[in-house]
C-alpha cells in the first residue's frame, strides 16, 4: 500500500525532487500557490502535493477515508511517480474557481451567425478557465452557399474557423501565462474539405489552432481503389473528386506544414466503450481523447522512469500506483468545479478518466533497450498491459464501493470491442461488480509537467541528448542526464544502441510504438511521428496508411524543417510525390515581448546633455529593449534619441540564430566611436556622441566585470548550474521553432503540440 506523510521543510531548503533549475522554475512559475501579488507561497513540490492530495481526497465520504486517501495520494505523487495534469496541480486546493480539466469538446455550431457566436462563447468561457477545446465545424454550410435571409452567400467553415483561432491565440491569455489551445475538425466529405486541408500552407491562417480531418473507413476504402468521392452537405452532392486526390492533398499539406492530422473517426466510434449511448464527433486539442459534445479530459500520468531502479522496472509498484491514480482521477470528477451544466452532466454520466504515462523513453534507456526495437516492444506491451489491467480492476472495485457510472449497461458494455479484448478475469469482474469509469486510459501530452518531473515527454522518444544553454556569458553545451551519467562512467567507449533520439528513428518505428500502446489504451494517443527533411509526400501517405492498418486511431506528422518551408512546385524528374521546398516567412514574425521585463536606467553625461538610458532584460539576462531619453520632450534631439532606442529594440526582436552576445557586439560595433562636433571626457571615458554613449552603456551590460569582453560563445560539457538570477535557456542544435512565449528558438514538436525547452511553454 502506498502511504506517506509529507516531510517538514524549512523555508530555504531546496527540495530533493528538483534536479535542475528548469524544474524549479517551472514549479514556481506554473504550479506553486501564489499570493495576490503573484509571489509563490509554496516553495517545494511537497507543499503542492499535500495541497492537491487534501483537496481531491476531500470528496471521499468519511473523515477516515479522507485522511487515508489524502496520505495515499500524496505518497503516489512523491518523487513525481504519479503526476496529475497541470490544471489539477495549478487549481486543486487553491480556492480559485477553475476547472481541473485540461480539455473539452464543444458541440458543432448551429448553422447560423447567432449559432456560431454562441458556440464561440462556449470556447472562450472554457479557455478563460484554463481549458482547451475541440470542435467539429462540419455543421456549417460550405463557402458560397446561398443565404436566403440576407440574399448573400456563406463564408464557409474555414472562414469562421479563423474566429476560433484568433480567440485562442490573441484574446484569451490563461492566467496571464499562456494561450488557449484549440482543435478544429472537418469531416472528409464536407464540400470545403480541400480548402480546409490546405489552409495552413498559407502563413498566418488558422495559426492558433490545430487542424485534423475526420477520416472515415469509407474514405480509406475509396483511396485503395481510387473511387469517386462525393462532397456532400445537407444531403446534396456539391462536388465529386477522386478519393486518392483528397488523400494526396492531405499528404502534401502534412509534408509542407505538419497539418492537418488525421483521426480515424469511424474506428474511434467502433472501439469506444461508450458506443451504445454517445457518438464521438471530435477530439481534444492534441487528439488523445475522442469526446462527445460537452465531454472533458481528466488527465494524469505515471512516470515510468521513476519505477526503474538498477536496470529493473518494478511492475508491482507500477500496478499499485495505477490503482491509486484511478481513484484519484475518479475523485477529481466530483472535486472539479463545473462552470457549464452540460459538462457536469456529460462527465458525471460517464466518469471518464485519462490515465497515461510520461518518461517512457527514459525508462527504456535506463533498462538498456533501444526505443522502437523488438525488445522495446515486448517491454512496452508488458508496461501498458500492467497499467490497463490494474486500472480496470481498480475501477471495478470502485464500482462495488461507490456504484458504477450512470450510463453503465452491463450487457452492452461487455459487447464493446475493447472490452472484449480484456482478460477473462477482468471481464468477469466487470460483469459481477460493474465499473466506475466508462473510459479509463489515454496517452496525453505531458508537455510542461514532464519538464517539471524532469523526464521525457509522454511516450515520445528523447528529443535530443545535447542541448545548448544560452545566457549572458555565451553558449554552454549541456547534456541529457542519463547520457552524461553514461559518458562519465564510460569516457572512451562508443555509445550503446539504446541511446536513440527522435531523429534517429525511422518514422515507421514511431508508428509501431504508437500502435503497440494503442492496443492497451481505450481512448487514444497524442504523439508526433518525426520524419527527416528528405521525406517525401508519398512517404507521408504510406505512413498514414501504416497507422491505419496497425490500428491507430489517429496520427500526427512532423517533417524536420517543414515549418520553415512551403509547397512551391513539383520536381519535374519525379512522379510528383516529392515536393521541392522554398523558404517562407515562417521566421518573419518578431519575437514577442515578454509580459514583464526588468532593468535599470543609466545616467550618462554626453556632449548633447545628460542622457538617461534604460536597459530592460529578461530573466536570462538577455537585453530585450532600450529607451534613450535626452533633452526636452518634443525637441529634435529627444526624437533622435527615441529613434536610436526604438531601432535597437527592433533589432533585438528580429528572429535570428546569432548568439545574443554576438548580436550585442555587432550593435556596439556600429555605434561605438561615432563622433560629432564635440566630445566629453578623456581617454577610455571619452564620450564622442549620444550614439557612442549608448554603445558604452551596452558594453557595461554585456560585460558586468568591466573588462571589455562582450562575451564570446563558450562550450562547456558540464551541466553546471547557473547563478540563481539567470534563466537557463535550452536550444536544440536541430531545427526548432521560435517560442511564442519567450522568443527563443527552442520550441519543438512533440505529442502533437509545441513544447519549449527554454521556458517550459506548452501549447497543450
Pairing of strands 182-187, 210-215: parallel
CA distance 716 to 721: 12
Residue 401 has pLDDT above 70, yes or no: yes
DSSP codes of every residue in 526-589:
--EEEE-TT--HHHHHHHHHHHHHTT-SEEEEEETTGGGEEEEEE-TTS-SSSEEEEE-STT-S
* 685/607: higher pLDDT: 607
CA distance 703 to 157: 54
Q: How many CB atoms lie within 10 A of CB 579?
A: 20
Which of 65-74, 94-103, 299-308 comes out lowest in average pLDDT? 94-103
CA distance 640 to 513: 60
CB neighbours of 702 closer than 8 A, spacing ≥ 6?
472, 661, 664, 665, 668, 710, 711
CA distance 521 to 84: 18
The pLDDT score that the predictor gives to residue 712 is 30
Angle at 159 between CA 157 and CA 164, to 5 degrees: 85
The pLDDT score that the predictor gives to residue 291 is 96
Nearest to 191 by CA among 232, 130, 150, 229: 232
Q: pLDDT exceeding 70 applies to what percent of the chain?
A: 85
Q: pLDDT tens digits, residue range 231-277?
A: 999 999 999 999 999 999 999 999 999 999 999 999 999 999 999 99
The pLDDT score that the predictor gives to residue 652 is 87
The helix-helix angle for 690-702 and 636-653 (nearest 10°) equals: 40
Q: Where are the alpha helices (DSSP H) in 594-706?
A: 636-653, 660-671, 690-702
First-to-last alpha carbon distance for the chain, in angstroms, is 33
Under 8 Å between Cβ of 760 and 25 = yes
Which active-site residues does the annotation give? 284, 286, 288
Q: pLDDT tens digits, residue range 694-737?
A: 999 988 765 543 333 333 333 333 333 333 333 344 444 455 66
Would you give the DSSP letter of residue 256?
Answer: H
Per the listing, cell 509571489 goes with 39
Under 8 Å between Cβ of 444 and 426 = no
Which of 83-87, 305-309, 631-635 comes out lowest in average pLDDT? 631-635
Indicate left, alpha or beta for 557 from its phi (over 0: left) and psi (-120 to 50: alpha): beta
* 571/359: higher pLDDT: 359
CA distance 477 to 469: 6
Output the nine-digit C-alpha cell for 231.
462532397
* 600/459: higher pLDDT: 459
Under 8 Å between Cβ of 162 and 168 = no
Helix (H, G, I), strand (E, B) or coil at 454: coil
Whether pTM exceeds 0.85: no
The pLDDT score that the predictor gives to residue 174 is 46
DSSP codes of every residue in 111-152:
SSHHHHHHHHHHHHHHHHTT-EEEEE-TTSPPTT-EETTTTE
Q: Which helix (H) or strand (E) holds 91?
A: helix 86-91
**Greatest alpha-carbon span in the chain:** 95
Q: pLDDT exceeding 90 applies to what percent of the chain?
A: 64
Pairing of strands 554-559, 261-264: antiparallel
The pLDDT score that the predictor gives to residue 737 is 65
Pairing of strands 308-309, 299-303: unpaired
* Burial environment of residue 5 by CB neighbours within 10 A (0 to 12, 13 to 18, 19 or more): exposed
Q: pLDDT tens digits, residue range 663-695?
A: 888 899 899 888 877 788 777 778 889 999 999
Sign of CA dihedral 750, 754, 757, 759: negative
Would you give the DSSP letter of residue 462?
Answer: B
Which of 165-174, 255-264, 272-281, 465-474 comes out lowest in average pLDDT? 465-474
CA distance 525 to 517: 8
Q: How many CB atoms lie within 10 A of CB 127?
A: 23
CA distance 754 to 762: 6
Per the listing, cell 474511434 goes with 268
The pLDDT score that the predictor gives to residue 756 is 81
Output the nine-digit C-alpha cell for 82.
504519479
Helix (H, G, I), strand (E, B) or coil at 216: coil
Phi first, then psi: give them for residue 261, nearest 5 degrees: -80, 175
The pLDDT score that the predictor gives to residue 190 is 98
Helix (H, G, I), strand (E, B) or coil at 693: helix
- Mean pLDDT score, 437-443: 98
Q: Which helix (H) or strand (E) holds 302?
A: strand 299-303
* 150/303: higher pLDDT: 303
CA distance 329 to 300: 7
Output the nine-digit C-alpha cell for 620.
536570462
Residue 478 has pLDDT above 80, yes or no: no
Amino acid at each position: 500500500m502506498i502511504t506517506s506523510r509529507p516531510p517538514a521543510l524549512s523555508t530555504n531548503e531546496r527540495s530533493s525532487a528538483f534536479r535542475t533549475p528548469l524544474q524549479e522554475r517551472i514549479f514556481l512559475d506554473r504550479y506553486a500557490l501564489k499570493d495576490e501579488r503573484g509571489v509563490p507561497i509554496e516553495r517545494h513540490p511537497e507543499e503542492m502535493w499535500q495541497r492537491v492530495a487534501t483537496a481531491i481526497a476531500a470528496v471521499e465520504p468519511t473523515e477516515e477515508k479522507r485522511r487515508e486517501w489524502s496520505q495515499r495520494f500524496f505518497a503516489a505523487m512523491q518523487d513525481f511517480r504519479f503526476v496529475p495534469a497541470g490544471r489539477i496541480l495549478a487549481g486543486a486546493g487553491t480556492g480559485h474557481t477553475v476547472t481541473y480539466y485540461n480539455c473539452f469538446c464543444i458541440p458543432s455550431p448551429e448553422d447560423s451567425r447567432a449559432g456560431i457566436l454562441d458556440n464561440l462563447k462556449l470556447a472562450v468561457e472554457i479557455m478563460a478557465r484554463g481549458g482547451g477545446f475541440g470542435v467539429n465545424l462540419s455543421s456549417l454550410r460550405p463557402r458560397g452557399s446561398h443565404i436566403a435571409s440576407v440574399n448573400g452567400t456563406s463564408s464557409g467553415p474555414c472562414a469562421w474557423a479563423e474566429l476560433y483561432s484568433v480567440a485562442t491565440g490573441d484574446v484569451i491569455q490563461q492566467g496571464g501565462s499562456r494561450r488557449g489551445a484549440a482543435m478544429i475538425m472537418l469531416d472528409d466529405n464536407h464540400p470545403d474539405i480541400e480548402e480546409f486541408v490546405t489552409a495552413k500552407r498559407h502563413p498566418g491562417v488558422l495559426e492558433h489552432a490545430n487542424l485534423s480531418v475526420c477520416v472515415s473507413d469509407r474514405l480509406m476504402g475509396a483511396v485503395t481503389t481510387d473511387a469517386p468521392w462525393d462532397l456532400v452537405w445537407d444531403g446534396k452532392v456539391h462536388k465529386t473528386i477522386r478519393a486518392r486526390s483528397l488523400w494526396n492533398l492531405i499528404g502534401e499539406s502534412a509534408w509542407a506544414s505538419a497539418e492537418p492530422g488525421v483521426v480515424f473517426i469511424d474506428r474511434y466510434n467502433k472501439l469506444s466503450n461508450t458506443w451504445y449511448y454517445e457518438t464521438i464527433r471530435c477530439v481534444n486539442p492534441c487528439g488523445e481523447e475522442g469526446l462527445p459534445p460537452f465531454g472533458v479530459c481528466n488527465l494524469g500520468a505515471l512516470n515510468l522512469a521513476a519505477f526503474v531502479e538498477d536496470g529493473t522496472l518494478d511492475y508491482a509498484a507500477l500496478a499499485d500506483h495505477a490503482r491509486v491514480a484511478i481513484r484519484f482521477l475518479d475523485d477529481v470528477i466530483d472535486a472539479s468545479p463545473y462552470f457549464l451544466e452540460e459538462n457536469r452532466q456529460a462527465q458525471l454520466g460517464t466518469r471518464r478518466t485519462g490515465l497515461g504515462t510520461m518518461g517512457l523513453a527514459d525508462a527504456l534507456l535506463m533498462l538498456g533497450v533501444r526505443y522502437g526495437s523488438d525488445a522495446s516492444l515486448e517491454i512496452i506491451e508488458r508496461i501498458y498491459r500492467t497499467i490497463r489491467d490494474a486500472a480496470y480492476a481498480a475501477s471495478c472495485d470502485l464500482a462495488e464501493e461507490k456504484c458504477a457510472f450512470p450510463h453503465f449497461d452491463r450487457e452492452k458494455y461487455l459487447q464493446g470491442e475493447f472490452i472484449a479484448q480484456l482478460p477473462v478475469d477482468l471481464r468477469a469482474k466487470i460483469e459481477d461488480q460493474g465499473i466506475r469509469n466508462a473510459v479509463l486510459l489515454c496517452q496525453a501530452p505531458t508537455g510542461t509537467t514532464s519538464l517539471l518531473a524532469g523526464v521525457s515527454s509522454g511516450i515520445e522518444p528523447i528529443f535530443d541528448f545535447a542541448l545548448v544553454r544560452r545566457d549572458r556569458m555565451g553558449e554552454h553545451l549541456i547534456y541529457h542526464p542519463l547520457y552524461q551519467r553514461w559518458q562519465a562512467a564510460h569516457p572512451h567507449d562508443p555509445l550503446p544502441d539504446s541511446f536513440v533520439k527522435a531523429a534517429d528513428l525511422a518514422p515507421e518505428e514511431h508508428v509501431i510504438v504508437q500502435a503497440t500502446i494503442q492496443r492497451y489504451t481505450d481512448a487514444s494517443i497524442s504523439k508526433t511521428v518525426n520524419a527527416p527533411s528528405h521525406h517525401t509526400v508519398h512517404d507521408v501517405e504510406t505512413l498514414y496508411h501504416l497507422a491505419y492498418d496497425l490500428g491507430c486511431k489517429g496520427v500526427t506528422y512532423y517533417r524536420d524543417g517543414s515549418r520553415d518551408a512551403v509547397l512551391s512546385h513539383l520536381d519535374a524528374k519525379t512522379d510528383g510525390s516529392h515536393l521541392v521546398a522554398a523558404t517562407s516567412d515562417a521566421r518573419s514574425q518578431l519575437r514577442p515581448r515578454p509580459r514583464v521585463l526588468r532593468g535599470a536606467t543609466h545616467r550618462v553625461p554626453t556632449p548633447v546633455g545628460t542622457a538617461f538610458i534604460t536597459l530592460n532584460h529578461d530573466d536570462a539576462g538577455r537585453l530585450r529593449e532600450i529607451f534613450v531619453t535626452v533633452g526636452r520632450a518634443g525637441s529634435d534631439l529627444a526624437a533622435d534619441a527615441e529613434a536610436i532606442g526604438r531601432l535597437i529594440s527592433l533589432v533585438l526582436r528580429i528572429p535570428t540564430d546569432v548568439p545574443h552576445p554576438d548580436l550585442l557586439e555587432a550593435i556596439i560595433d556600429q555605434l561605438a566611436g561615432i563622433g560629432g562636433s564635440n566630445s566629453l571626457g578623456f581617454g577610455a571615458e571619452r564620450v564622442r556622441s549620444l550614439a557612442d554613449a549608448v554603445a558604452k552603456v551596452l558594453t557595461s551590460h554585456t560585460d558586468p566585470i568591466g573588462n571589455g569582453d562582450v562575451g564570446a560563445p563558450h562550450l562547456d560539457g558540464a551541466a553546471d548550474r547557473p547563478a540563481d538570477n539567470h534563466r537557463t535557456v535550452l536550444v536544440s542544435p536541430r531545427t526548432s521553432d521560435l517560442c511564442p512565449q519567450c522568443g527563443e528558438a527552442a520550441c519543438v514538436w512533440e505529442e502533437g503540440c509545441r513544447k519549449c525547452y527554454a521556458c517550459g511553454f506548452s501549447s497543450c
